[in-house]
Amino acid sequence: MPTPLPHPTGPRTYPALLSPLDLGRFEVRNRIVMGSMHVGLEDRPADAKKLAAYLGERARGGAGLIVTGGFSPDRTGRLTPRGAQATDRALRAHRMVTREVHEADGRILLQLLHAGRYAFHPLGASAGRARSRLSPFRARRLTRRGVGRTVDHFAEAARRAVDAGYDGVEIMGSEGYLLNQFLAPTTNRRRDRWGRGAEGRRAMPLAIARAVREAIGEDALLSYRISLLDLVPGGQTWDETAALASGLTERGVDVLSTGIGWHEARVPTIVTSVPRAAFVEQTARLREHVEVPVVASNRIHDPEVAEQVLTDGHADLISMARPLLADPHLPAKLADGRAPQVVACISCNQACLDKVFEGERASCLVNPRAGHETELVLRPVTQRRARKVAVVGAGPAGLEAALSAAERGHVVTLFEAGEEIGGQLRLAAHIPGKEDYAQALRSWRMRLAAAGVGIRLGTRPAADDLLGFHDVIVATGVVPRVIDLPVDGGPQVISYADLLEGRAEPGERVAIIGAGGIGVDVAEYLTSPRPSPTLETARWTTHWGVVEADEEHRGGVTTRPPGSADDGRLAREVHLLQRKETRIGAGLGRTTGWVHRTELRHAGVIHHRGVTYRRIDADGLHLIEDGAEHTLAVDTVVVCAGQVSANDLADEVRAARQGRTPRVHVIGGADVAAELDAERAIRQAVEVAAGL
């Protein structure tokens, strides 16, 4: 089984997290902030109704304070050519957003975000003429007059937001956007009043804070998202950040919301391999320096961790953006004593941030209704219309199908041939850095029990056993593909499932056939330090080179590669092979793939592309690469060459029913095995359950 993650000890009550807090301008009902996360509903005024439904559900679920996705104060600062901008037209449509939140007794801020050189269009502008790795366009240098106009635009946009009913605004000064670009010497080399030393570099953020405070008046809340660690060479020092924080509060900022790392930083800050609350000591340091409330963020997705952060005095509020994407009713469940039923965010980024960076609407892998509240609706059924539903297979698709059907009011029985639930997700939880996947399975267990789902483990039903049901949902998943390769002795040949389940022990020289997501995971499993740095923050920061942000290490990061310290990495020769000519790991997520590729590179994993497999014998694995035949003298070959759907049961039930019930639905890997797309599988499960 995966190594269980440490949890703070104590009862499952949350007195600190659920206590109200007076922010000066108004009181919030608890310490839970839904931090800013762009979902793609912000960009068009026509989507205001969908945005209202999305944010309104989080307000009804009990979030104390909600911050919208970022809205630019002007055209120059838009993230994309048609990106969100706080225009009169857009914010008139947002009256329904603020009304929806206020009717649920919530509070909401509009975030003002200027992309700077992150703009994905030719109008972008920054402190200097430069291009970031996130955009193909080179930003122009803002003139002195242009800086002044930008300050005015922030103030005007803030005024419009308050007029639209927002309780205030948040100024985005973190993550490497425009204000962060003015603050860091690596991007601000100006010689005028908006540069020329640390005081000049912070002049623009301070001017914007003052102008926005004057524009929104005394009753509205002003939050500033401040970068505590830039994590890029040439970033800010701690002393500069502290001076900025003092200046912001002097100019009327009510709350400091903390951000960690630029989007182009080469240190992960939010993916699942980052330890829980990894950067909270930085937040605590800021809280000691200022007298306004401070919001902690980054990988504080577990309510128990959040409670501990508050109890220890490290912060005043907790930002839980992705957790509230996963479960909009998280605060209400904590208040009602249903904490074990909270839908666990696994910080995978697959359906949220990866989608945003691809220009698509964001949702959530474990909650496909997120961002689709008006389109994917689970309507309750009366007892008279309840159907008897059998779900066969307890992988992610089967678990969610059973849960969604039961929550609608249907009578559901879940069959699983194995002795444990989880399917491929349970295997993934064995990978160092993905330990939190086990938390998702614990959440499903508790929610299935609460919904009254009957679970039969160790049971493989025959077609005749299912004829008494109205609906049969076949979620029997996949089986590893067997490769057609002559084997004549030599290395042991095992499947990835045998390896991860502990049924086979790898040797010291391993070849992995198949370099998709599972192949990359297996390579990390074979080489990652033990114990996993994810479980120990101090080891993780050493592993990634995170240090004190001072003059010697501006931005709080060293230039040495991750894992170059003696961190317990396994000394094993690993070859990762694929038939495709493309870069290994090219199909991984936009926000997570680079992390995996970095780990493999510094683990010394040897990549082989465009190979043809010939045979396995006593000499090893024979292959053709670059037109020449090679032999890898390995002692273990792990097969990760894809999967095939296991869906014979569907045909058997259809044949046995002879035109009568049950109706048969095939979902998840049993329907499409390609790439093991958990997001698609879970969404398909909810869609089928919604249609019963």
Q: Which of 23, 285, 288, 232 is CA-nearest to residue 118?
A: 232
User: How far apart (Å, rounded) are the C-alpha atoms in residues 460 and 294?
Assistant: 53
**pLDDT at residue 174, as a whole number:** 98
Q: Residue 563: which pLDDT band, with cuts at 50, 70 and 90?
A: low
Give mean pLDDT, residues 114-139: 95
On the question of pLDDT at 111 being above 90, the answer is yes
Residue 565 has pLDDT above 80, yes or no: no
pLDDT tens for each residue of 302-312 = 999 999 999 99
> Quick one: tokens of 629?
């035949």
Name the CATH code of domain 383-479+644-690 (choices 3.20.20.140, 2.60.120.10, 3.30.70.20, 3.40.50.720): 3.40.50.720
Q: Look at 274-283, 356-365, 392-401 and tell me which has the smallest mean pLDDT.
A: 356-365
CB of 154 closer than 8 Å to CB of 170: no
Share of the chain above pLDDT 90, in %: 90
Angle in degrees, CA 343, 419, 348, rounded to 5: 30
Domain 21-357, second-level architecture: Alpha-Beta Barrel (3.20)
**Could you state, in order of their start, the residue ranges of all structural domains in the chain?**
21-357, 383-479+644-690, 487-528+570-641
- Is the model's pLDDT at 2 over the cut of 70? no
- Asked if 619 and 490 touch (Cβ cutoff 8 Å), the reply is yes
Q: In the predicted model, is pLDDT for residue 28 greater than 80?
A: yes
pLDDT at 432: 93
Checking if the pLDDT of 494 tops 80, the result is yes
pLDDT at position 567? 59
DSSP strand pairing (317-319 vs 32-34): parallel
Interatomic CA distance for residues 124 and 141, integer angstroms: 9
- Cis geometry, peptide bond prior to residue 531 (ω within 30 degrees of 0): yes
Tally DSSP H helices, then E strands, for the chain: 22, 28
Dihedral angle computed from the Cα positions of residues 273, 323, 369 and 596, in that order, rounded to the nearest 10 degrees = -10
The H-or-E segment that residue 173 falls in is: strand 168-173
Cross-strand bridge partners of residue 411:
388
List of E strands, 361-503: 388-392, 411-416, 454-457, 471-474, 478-480, 487-488, 492-495
Angle at 39 between CA 34 and CA 45, to 5 degrees: 110
> Residue 11: its pLDDT value, please?
44
Neighbours of 4 (CB within 10 A): 11
Question: Which pLDDT score is estimated for 9?
Answer: 41
Rounded mean pLDDT, 71-97: 96
- CA–CA dist 406, 313 (Å, integer): 41
Q: What residues are paired with 416 via a beta bridge?
A: 457
- At 279 the three-state DSSP class reads coil
Q: Model confidence over 609-658: pLDDT tens digits?
A: 999 999 999 999 999 999 999 999 999 999 999 889 999 999 999 999 87
Ordered DSSP codes for 523-579: HHHHHS-SS-GGG-HHHHHHHHTB---SSTTGGGB-SSPTT-S-------EEEEE-S
Lowest mean pLDDT among 420-424, 502-506, 561-565: 561-565
What does the pLDDT read at residue 357?
Answer: 86
Q: Which pLDDT belongs to residue 636?
A: 96
pLDDT at 329 over 80: yes
Q: Is residue 560 scored above 70 in pLDDT?
A: no
Which residue, chain included where needed, has tokens 């600062």? 77
Q: Residue type at 147? A: V
Q: Could you read off the pLDDT of 679-688 as tens digits, one per residue? A: 999 999 999 9
Note whether 84 and 71 are within 8 A (CB): yes
pLDDT over 70 for what percent of the chain? Answer: 97
Nearest to 11 by CA among 444, 304, 311: 304
Catalytic residue chosen out of the listed positions 14, 54, 118, 177: 177
Average pLDDT, the chain: 94
The Cα diameter of the chain in Å comes to 82
Rounded CA-CA distance 483/486 in Å is 9
Give the neighbor-by-neighbor strand order of the sheet with 454-457.
454-457, 411-416, 388-392, 471-474, 663-666
Over its C-alpha atoms, the chain yields an Rg (Å, rounded) of 26
User: How confident is the model at residue 568, as a pLDDT?
Assistant: 63
244-262: per-residue pLDDT in tens?
Answer: 999 999 999 999 999 999 9
pLDDT surpasses 70 at 117: yes
HEC assignment per residue over 220-240: CEEEEEEEEECCCCCCCCHHH
Q: What is the mean pLDDT of residues 226-250?
A: 98
Q: What is the mean pLDDT of residues 266-290?
A: 96
Q: b/e per residue, 384-396, with b = 16+ CB within 10 A? A: eebbebbbbbbbb
Q: Is the peptide bond before 136 cis (omega within 30 degrees of 0)?
A: no
Block residue for tokens 């909401």: 108
Q: How far apart, in whole angstroms, are the C-alpha atoms of residue 639 and residue 655?
A: 34
Concerning whether 177 is annotated as a catalytic residue, the answer is: yes
HSE on the CB side for 180, CA within 13 Å?
Answer: 32
- The pLDDT of residue 8 is 41
Residue 565 CB neighbours (<10 A):
16
CATH class of 487-528+570-641: alpha beta
Q: Are 211 and 152 in contact (CB under 8 A)?
A: yes
**Is the pLDDT score of 691 beyond 60?**
yes
pLDDT of the residue at 370: 97
Arithmetic mean of pLDDT, 336-356: 94
- Reply yes or no on whether the pLDDT at 454 is more than 70: yes
Q: Read off the pLDDT of residues 194-204 as tens digits, 9 standing for 90 and up.
A: 999 999 999 99
**How confident is the model at residue 449, as a pLDDT?**
96
3-class secondary-structure state, position 84: coil
